[in-house]
Structure 1
Amino acid sequence: MREFGYRRASDVAEAVALLGDDPDARFLGGGTNLVDLMKTGVERPARLVDVGGLPLGRIEPAPGGGLHVGATVTNSDLAAHPDVRRRYPALAQAVLAGASGQLRNMATVGGNLLQRTRCGYFSDAAGPCNKRLPGSGCPAVEGEHHNHAILGASGHCVATHPSDMAVALTAFDAVVAYETADGPGELPIAEFYRPVGDTPHLETSLPPGALITGVTLPAAPVAAASRYRKVRERASYAFAIGSVAAALSVEDGVVRDVRLALGAVASRPWRARAAERALTGRPATPDSFAAAADAELSAARPLRDNAYKVTLMRNLIVSELTGLAEEAAR
């Protein structure tokens, strides 16, 4: 392991200044992703700026009736918070599905958003990977890719984003707040993650040196009728091979509002806009849900060994929306 410096920031301004002074520094929250990557030599920061003690650990009401979640709130505290469980149940379910209890106790909201999109080739520091070494190639395209992207990928990278939490936040139009040396800023989560394109090493739209300070969940009545479903290859802690965050509002048998976001299908959480458009104003029936899923997945471009994901995601979308519609009818 490369030797590195360590500083504990006492406030947000100091944290931003410390990172700005050193382009090879990294913010350290819970460390559940960064420290692992340091152990394998993928990340080699010259200095860690510990932000775990900053006063960003609260969940509180936001203007307009939403919720504001501080960046250092742990995943465990987020999933257990009564307002999250009641008003955004899919978010609580996604966090609980995301990792073991030990990791949830350490991992933070800000760190979860910034965990690297990765696959086994990224983690092998001895081999090529465009995310690690831009221009070196993507061996997953012709290699092992059974759990890789079917939507929005490019020949430069076909890895999938690993976060469950971010899928639910995407469904609910969360807004990410950050601080830089030039002052505060915000990014809708739809703009937070960059398309993979030909620059897969650039994963977010955060300005250089920015510190995430929190996430705001806008008020969304439909979110109270939501659920998150994750499919994985083993029941214990594992990344998804497909997941869905779904919310549905039905009046007189007709879909009035719907939110859908998909996980493990792209380099970023995938908002299913085509499916939402296809469903709004349509009967809340399995046939409508299947047609909406087909509208979204018509853009899928599976690789040699992951075409199963198209069928998997279609079934997940139909199943979760059907369950929500049945609950609404009771």
Structure 2
Amino acid sequence: MTPVQYRRADSASDAIRLAGTAGHRLLGGGTNLVDLMRKGVERPDTLVDVTGLPGAIEEAADGSIVIGAGARNSAIAAHPLIRSRYPMLSRAILAGASAQIRNMATAGGNLLQRTRCVYFADAAGSRCNKRAPGSGCDAIGGFTRYHAILGASPACIATHPSDMAVALAALDARVHVAGADGARALPLTDFHRLPGDRPDLETELAPGEVIVAIELPPSRLAPRSDYRKVRDRASYAFALVSVAAGLVIEDGRISEARIALGGVAHKPWRAWRAEAALQGEAPNEAAFVAAAEAELAGAEPRPGNMFKVTLAKRTLAAVLSGLCEDQA
């Protein structure tokens, strides 16, 4: 057994100080980190408990909603402001994991969870550039059913497992972080990195920085928004493909579209091409199919996940069609 020290952060400044210490890892709900420790993937010297950090869900003066990093996933999904203004986010959270895990998992921890790639998790027997940079990637040429078809690299084809983060990407959420050099905010779409040649660097967090909150700007998408997850079984399974989407339709034309995909890339994949293709179009099946085709035109599937290209196209078109049917 490997000994691990335990510390508790009583404030954000305390968490920042401890997070900057080598060998220290922040512990929220522990639903991902503890699993990886059991598998020998994560080997921290010290766990820093940050469950005491703020977890309030509050409305700001400008109408945005601020979610404290310590908020439990279940509390976010059930909150009246989230359910009424951002229903796709509530549905995305409820599509993830199990009720017990949602009761433990935190907003900040959800964004920082690591891939569920089986080769990444096999610390004893598989090569993984994410786990050991420069060692190689056994997923390439291996079992790739759950792996990326967009934004991958020769170093890594893993996917990001979060459902919540996909909805946040579509909603233009911003991640507020703090560190020794001060506080800053960055778009959720920029928070996670594509693998490139350094898949071990998964986010834009600087050493010692801590997530303190997630900000949801005011949105007109709520009446026409949804989250759909396609998976191998009905519950407690990661997405093969997921779609978070919202539309604003004015005078019979799409004036605003927000779309993100999950299960297809190393990060929540904002579908910028599909959104651009829909701008100004009549909301019909032809437009939705064309938008899906535009977004997946650059897909690079592996033999084991070629089905994801068609699945993503059909799921995206179906979700967009459903949004219009619901409001017909």
Q: TM-score, normalised by structure 2?
A: 0.98
SS in 2 for 1:177: strand
Contact 1:250 1:328 survives alignment (8 Å) = no
Residue of structure 2 in register with 1:66 after alignment:
64
Contact 1:149 1:266 survives alignment (8 Å) = yes
Q: How far apart are the structure 2 equivalents of 1:27 and 1:63?
A: 31
Contact 2:15 2:50 survives alignment (8 Å) = yes
Residue of structure 1 in register with 2:101 after alignment:
103
Residue of structure 1 in register with 2:11 after alignment:
11
Deviation at 1:216, TM superposition (A): 0.0
Deviations 1:295-315 (A, max 9, x none): 000010111111100110111
CA RMSD of aligned residues (A): 0.9
| Equivalent runs, 1:242-257 vs 2, <5 Å | 242-257=241-256
Deviation at 1:203, TM superposition (A): 0.3
- Which AA in structure 1 matches 2:237? A
| Equivalent runs, 1:20-169 vs 2, <5 Å | 20=20, 22-54=21-53, 56-126=54-124, 127-169=126-168
Residue of structure 2 in register with 1:225 after alignment:
224
Runs of 4+ in 1 over 6 A off after TM superposition: none
Deviations 1:66-114 (A, max 9, x none): 1000001000000000110000000000000011000000000000000
Contact 1:172 1:223 survives alignment (8 Å) = no
Residue of structure 2 in register with 1:209 after alignment:
208
Which ranges in structure 2 are unaligned for 5 or more consecutive residues?
none
Contact 2:133 2:198 survives alignment (8 Å) = yes
- Which AA in structure 2 matches 1:106? M
SS in 2 for 1:15: helix
How many percent of aligned residue pairs carry the same amino acid?
A: 57
Contact 1:227 1:247 survives alignment (8 Å) = yes
- Which AA in structure 1 matches 2:310? T
Contact 1:250 1:325 survives alignment (8 Å) = no
Deviations 1:235-254 (A, max 9, x none): 12010100000101112321
| Equivalent runs, 1:286-301 vs 2, <5 Å | 286-301=285-300
SS in 2 for 1:221: coil
SS in 2 for 1:162: coil
Contact 1:177 1:186 survives alignment (8 Å) = yes
SS in 1 for 2:52: coil
Deviation at 1:62, TM superposition (A): 2.4
Deviations 1:110-150 (A, max 9, x none): 00000012300000011210000101111111011011100
Q: How far apart are the structure 1 equivalents of 2:116 and 2:97?
A: 16
Which ranges in structure 1 are unaligned for 5 or more consecutive residues?
none
Contact 2:93 2:164 survives alignment (8 Å) = yes
Deviations 1:191-230 (A, max 9, x none): 1011210100000001111110010001111234210000
Q: How far apart are the structure 1 equivalents of 2:307 and 2:9?
A: 46
- Which AA in structure 1 matches 2:325? E
